[in-house]
Structure 1
């Protein structure tokens, strides 16, 4: 007995098999080269060039020893018509690549304002537009790493940065709260100067 498959029935089976064998790590284009998750920082630098900004975060600390592990974020800003790319390195290899908002022209003379500061900006965007903060502090906070509706699925302790910015005598200072390289809160510092 001979079993015949039509193209319409065979195509879903072929697609299913292809998806099961698809590599777990995906490459992305950097200029004319491909960069893969797991690549060394030197390989990424050779293929993508110098990053526009590098931020280093503590990811683990031991009482009495201090920081024992770090995460690096490399930012590539291709300009206002393309998306900013953020590469995350852990344990000496490329761990994740993500696109943020549209890029911008650095040094365009556009001043920082309290209205510019908002949730979702990257550390790189804030530094490029507003410069170094008046003051900074870092502290560790516990977060529930579980899915919504599943509390207690795990607790993650990670550093949180607070940056203080000043915008002149007629405005309150602003506290920019950053977690994992992104602004998660902007609040008014109501203490008198």
Structure 2
């Protein structure tokens, strides 16, 4: 019985290490060190691209040096999050089960701290507008407990749910909802 338990633990450990090292796209494994074009050829366009860090150059403007590609593989498979550094795949993380895309018409109560940018767009559609800023406070996500320190780049997504509801400001850091704030202003008639 002990031998069986040890073998099972070893098998599960190797499977989880394989899942973190890469994943299959069209029968081929995408792995660390692959270039962006190679991943795109095998897996297609990601559902969401989240720029994590960029460098400003005079000739080209902001050039992303780190970004995350998010893939929603549907409700029967796990979501994948691929991190790239300087055009090379450096990390593959596995998320929760994927989901069927929604119709983009959500209520404010459906926005939760900790969900990914991809889940937010699927539930609520694109925001009315986006504002980019540097954070002045610490944020903690509820789902994974990760703490984002002050000084991180963040996007505030503004959602207008119509004249009977208050506007919501949804803060995203690294492609994850970290805060939901209710504005003192109600939405516009054109949003309903």
Contact 1:122 1:183 in 2 (8 A): yes
Counterpart in 1 of 2:158? 164
Scaled by the length of structure 2, what TM-score is found?
0.69
Give 1:137 deviation, angstroms: 0.7
1:104 matched to 2:63? The reply is: no
Contact 2:35 2:87 in 1 (8 A): yes
Counterpart in 2 of 1:117? 111
| Greater share of helix | 2
Counterpart in 2 of 1:191? 185
Contact 1:59 1:159 in 2 (8 A): no
Q: 1:72 aligns with which of 64, 67, 72?
A: 67
Q: 2:44 aligns with which of 43, 49, 63?
A: 49
Runs of 4+ in structure 1 deviating by more than 6 angstroms, as ranges, are none
* C-alpha distance in 1 between matches for 2:71 and 2:154: 23
* C-alpha distance in 2 between matches for 1:36 and 1:143: 36
Give 1:95 deviation, angstroms: 1.9
Contact 2:104 2:125 in 1 (8 A): no
* C-alpha distance in 2 between matches for 1:135 and 1:123: 15
Unaligned runs of 5+ residues in structure 1 are 1-7, 9-14, 145-154
Aligned counterparts, 1:1-193, within 5 A:
26-60=21-55, 67=62, 69-106=64-101, 108-109=102-103, 111-141=105-135, 157-191=151-185
* C-alpha distance in 1 between matches for 2:31 and 2:67: 16
Unaligned runs of 5+ residues in structure 2 are 4-9, 139-148, 188-192
* C-alpha distance in 2 between matches for 1:60 and 1:167: 36
Give 1:157 deviation, angstroms: 4.4
Scaled by the length of structure 1, what TM-score is found?
0.69
